[in-house]
Every structure is written in structure tokens, then in C-alpha cells.
């Protein structure tokens, strides 16, 4: 990863590169299969599947997944960092609202 000879790609370019790798692996596997090289075709097909999984994982990083927010922890971290009394008040209100539910 820290190889000075390798340039860093933007995330979108890296995703496109992995996607192209998956497509190319599929093409090579098809060609090897036509040449009656089933073992080599199977290895390349697995490479294609691995590249597809890597691309899917990278795409997953771009998808926003809604989650519940722990507002107490958010305000706690803000209180620790900035010492704003509004965050301390919000933490107190969050504790009281949790007790009511």
C-alpha cells in the first residue's frame, strides 16, 4: 500500500478498476473454456467472482444506511471536545427522555 511507485486512485476510479477487472476475468474465463482449459477457466472465474465481491463491497461503502443515532453520545462527545453547556443540557434532556419511555 505504501509503495511510492503506485499512484493513489480516487475511490470512484478504484471501483471502476475493480469492476473492469471482474469483466475482464469473465472474458478470459470464457476464452479459456472455449480452448478446453476447464481448470484454468475455473480459476479465472473464481478471480472474477472475487473481483465482483470486492466491487460490491466498495459500492456498499457509498450507500447511506439509515441508523438510529445515540444523541446522548453525540452530545457527550461534543461536550468533551468543546465544553459547550448546550451539549451538557442536551445530555441531561436525553437522559430524562429515556426515563420517560
Give the best-scoring range by mean pLDDT among 7-11, 36-40, 92-96: 36-40
Q: Look at the alpha carbons of 53, 57, 63, 67 in this order and tell me if their dihedral is positive or negative.
A: positive
Rounded CA gap, 39 and 36, in Å? 9
| 5 has a pLDDT exceeding 70 | no
Q: Which residues contact 61 (CB under 8 A, 6 or more apart)?
A: 11
Give the DSSP letter of residue 4.
T
Determine if the pTM surpasses 0.85.
no
| 13 has a pLDDT exceeding 60 | yes
Helix boundaries (H) for the chain: 11-34, 38-62, 71-82, 85-100
64-98 per-position pLDDT tens digit: 666 677 888 888 898 888 888 898 888 888 877 76
pLDDT on residue 6? 56
Amino acid at each position: 500500500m505504501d509503495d511510492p511507485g503506485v499512484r493513489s486512485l480516487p475511490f470512484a476510479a478504484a471501483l471502476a478498476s475493480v469492476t473492469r477487472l471482474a469483466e475482464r476475468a469473465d472474458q478470459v474465463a470464457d476464452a479459456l473454456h472455449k480452448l478446453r482449459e476447464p481448470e484454468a477457466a475455473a480459476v479465472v472465474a473464481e478471480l472474477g467472482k472475487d473481483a465482483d465481491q470486492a466491487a460490491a463491497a466498495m459500492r456498499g461503502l457509498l450507500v447511506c444506511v439509515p441508523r438510529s443515532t445515540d444523541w446522548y453520545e453525540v452530545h457527550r462527545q461534543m461536550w468533551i471536545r468543546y465544553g459547550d453547556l448546550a451539549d451538557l443540557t442536551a445530555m441531561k434532556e436525553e437522559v430524562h427522555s429515556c426515563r420517560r419511555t
